[in-house]
Amino acid sequence: MTAPTTSVPATGDEEDRPRPASAGDPFDRDVLPTPPGATSALLRSLLAPMRARVAGTTLLLLLQQAAVQAGPLLVAYAIDTAVPAFRAHDHGPLIAVAVAYVLSALASGGLQWAFVVASARVNQDVLLDLRGRIFRHAQALSVDFHERYTSGRLISRSTTDVESLRELLSEGLQELITVILSFVYISAMLLWLDPGLGAVAVASFGPLYLLVRAYRRRAGRVFQERSTAIAAVIVKFVETMNGIRPVRAFRREAANDAGFRVLNRRHERTNGDALLEMARYVIGSRLVANTAVALIVLWGAYRVADGSLELGVLAAAVLYLRRLYDPIDRLGMFLNSYQSAAASLEKIAGLLAQTPSVPEPAAPRRLPPLASEHPGREVVFDGVRFGYRTGGEVLPRFDLTIPAGQTVAVVGSTGAGKSTLAKLLARFYDPSGGRVLLDGVDLRELAVPELRRGVVMVTQEAFLFSGTVADNIAIGRPEATREEIERAAKAIGAHDFISALPDGYDTDVRKRGGRISAGQRQLVAFARALLADPAVLILDEATSSLDIPGERAVQRAMATVLRGRTAVVIAHRLSTVEIADRVLVMEHGRVVEDGRPAELTAGTGRFATLHRAWRDSLV
């Protein structure tokens, strides 16, 4: 069996490569399969619109470094020229040096300020763009993606991972540029002041380079582990809090604590490893730097003694050397933020590289206009085959025609494929074979607004967004007036309970007093669907949280609401069947009985048996 259209671009060799048992599903790992070059392409596309501003901030940094590095040179000039001149009662050079020193300090401060402001603006814009992209992309991805990529991971992508990129941009890059610039400036300056001393300093770059390379390699691994560890902590946290009710119900707290402690420890350990690597690096680099300084001071002192080197030059050289080896620690910092940002960026790029498995049509088609007297549309399942990625085929080959305006009740045991049928009709998924047609148009070709107006599904979850009750109903049709919202609520029997809330329709559903029960949530969801006024309404056990009188009331309302509309009502209580024109009994992804309710009840089939059992249970 082939899986439904895959959104993960799997390369041939990836399929062949034997995988460890734990790594079966790529979605179990944090890093999704990312096409080669996607990470750098993402970085480029983020920075491309700000090329001019990035160049401008770099220039500011260049100038600032020039001002900073003027210091030791001025000291050398003061010792070797200005002080002797001062002794000869010429005050000019010393005053000039003092003024130049102050000016260079002022300039470096001013430039530093300008740089910080300019680069912060660039960084904020980059991060704004990136967060927006992650949100838009995640929202556009299909339901099957979200079923496999947990919300904890998504949160981790848009928080920790974006944050580590922020660190790189706001501190890391500045460090890197400063380090490179000071190396270049200072080496040139030293070589110019005294080629011999300069050569010793430049020779020390060899061991430093090896040190940096080793650190980079080892820290890379450690940082990868660390970022996976923190993501696991977040995933566990989010999952536990999302499932807080079953956690309480089954007294899972202790087990969860233990699990969380393990993950937390792992994160702590990887953090420790990272610090250890950093410490090794700092110790190594200090060793190299101090050895080089000692050599230069020794040799320089000899040469000052025999008169081949001026004292001022030696002083400047030592000052420069200190400045030269100072940035090495910061290079380590840069490598740190670079490594974690690279790991994060790769994960973000992997997420952004996912393509929706339910893509928007390239050439969208419109539905034929509705005849005003009947708002329904014809639904056809034409040889539909479908299976979830993680399981076998749920619908082996499904054919069904629902004429416009018909109300179809679907019954059948749990796992028969009723919800799958509903989700295919709402285009949460695309079939792997065959077509689902709405008035003759394949759902895959249908323009998104047309689909939104065409098919609406109400499920038992009945999710409410933060906002008022009225806002939640208005999701069905954002431009609806308050009168229309209330009319929808009245039609479904939700008006009374809404009016009894502290602020009526303006009650915030997340605030105290705005708490509403599962059954009431379902009524709000109904009103929302009704307001949307779709051609096809799907109700998937949408009344399951209502009590019997509540369900009765909804059913009475349904009779009017559904009139003329095409409706698929998946029912867990057989009473719903009474409002249907037609009943389908599903087993194992197939329709095993299909007929008018009265016919089926009177017959000897499965439905008749079910119905009799249900009748008996009522008395």
Ligand X SMILES: Nc1ncnc2c1ncn2[C@@H]1O[C@H](COP(=O)(O)OP(=O)(O)O)[C@@H](O)[C@H]1O
Out of 417, 454, 534, 597, the only residue in the binding site for ligand X (CB under 6 A) is 417
Q: Where along the sequence are the contacts to Mg ion (CB under 5 A)?
A: 419
Binding-site partner at residue 390 among Mg ion, ligand X, none, CB < 5 to 8 Å by type: ligand X
Out of 416, 489, 537, 542, the only residue in the binding site for ligand X (CB under 6 A) is 416
**Shortest spacing between CB 118 and ligand X, in angstroms:** 49
Cα distances from 316 to residues 85, 131, 214, 319, 601, in angstroms, run 19, 47, 32, 5, 102
Largest distance between two CA atoms of the chain: 125
Structure tokens at 492: 């479904």
Report yes or no: 575 and 551 within 8 Å, Cβ to Cβ: yes
Binding-site partner at residue 147 among ligand X, Mg ion, none, CB < 5 to 8 Å by type: ligand X
DSSP state of 10: -
Q: What count of Cα atoms within 13 Å lies in the side-chain half-sphere of residue 367?
A: 27
Structure tokens at 107: 């300039």
**Shortest spacing between CB 458 and Mg ion, in angstroms:** 13
Task: Read off the amino acid at residue 129.
Answer: D
Out of 6, 124, 308, 390, the only residue in the binding site for ligand X (CB under 6 A) is 390
Binding-site partner at residue 300 among ligand X, Mg ion, none, CB < 5 to 8 Å by type: none
**Shortest spacing between CB 338 and Mg ion, in angstroms:** 48
Binding-site partner at residue 415 among Mg ion, ligand X, none, CB < 5 to 8 Å by type: ligand X
Residue 147 engages ligand X in binding (rule: CB under 6 A): yes
Shorter beta-carbon distance to ligand X: residue 146 or 286: 146
Binding-site partner at residue 101 among Mg ion, ligand X, none, CB < 5 to 8 Å by type: none
**Shortest spacing between CB 419 and Mg ion, in angstroms:** 3
Out of 139, 414, 604, 617, the only residue in the binding site for ligand X (CB under 6 A) is 414
Shorter beta-carbon distance to Mg ion: residue 108 or 419: 419
Binding-site partner at residue 414 among Mg ion, ligand X, none, CB < 5 to 8 Å by type: ligand X
Shorter beta-carbon distance to ligand X: residue 165 or 416: 416
Using left for φ > 0, alpha for ψ between -120 and 50, and beta otherwise, residue 454 falls in alpha
Residue 419 engages ligand X in binding (rule: CB under 6 A): yes
Q: What are phi and psi of 463, to 5 degrees?
A: -75, 135
The residue behind tokens 């997340």 is: 510
Structure tokens at 264: 């937390």
Shorter beta-carbon distance to ligand X: residue 139 or 414: 414
Out of 237, 388, 428, 497, the only residue in the binding site for ligand X (CB under 6 A) is 388
Binding-site partner at residue 416 among Mg ion, ligand X, none, CB < 5 to 8 Å by type: ligand X
Residue 1 engages ligand X in binding (rule: CB under 6 A): no
Contact stretch for ligand X (CB under 6 A) within 59-67, 414-422, 436-444, 546-554: 414-422
Report the sign of the C-alpha dihedral through residues 159, 163, 166, 168, in that order: negative
Residue 461 engages ligand X in binding (rule: CB under 6 A): no
Binding flags for ligand X, 391-410, as an x/- string (CB under 6 A): x--x----------------
Cα–Cα distance, 8 to 5 (Å, whole number): 9
Out of 112, 240, 357, 420, the only residue in the binding site for ligand X (CB under 6 A) is 420
Using left for φ > 0, alpha for ψ between -120 and 50, and beta otherwise, residue 589 falls in left
CA Rg, the chain, in Å?
35
**Shortest spacing between CB 395 and ligand X, in angstroms:** 9
Report yes or no: 163 and 227 within 8 Å, Cβ to Cβ: no
Cα–Cα distance, 128 to 131 (Å, whole number): 5
The residue behind tokens 């439905």 is: 607
DSSP state of 360: P
Which strand (E) or helix (H) includes residue 14? helix 12-16
Residue 260 engages ligand X in binding (rule: CB under 6 A): no
Site for ligand X, rule CB under 6 A = 147, 388, 390-391, 394, 412, 414-420
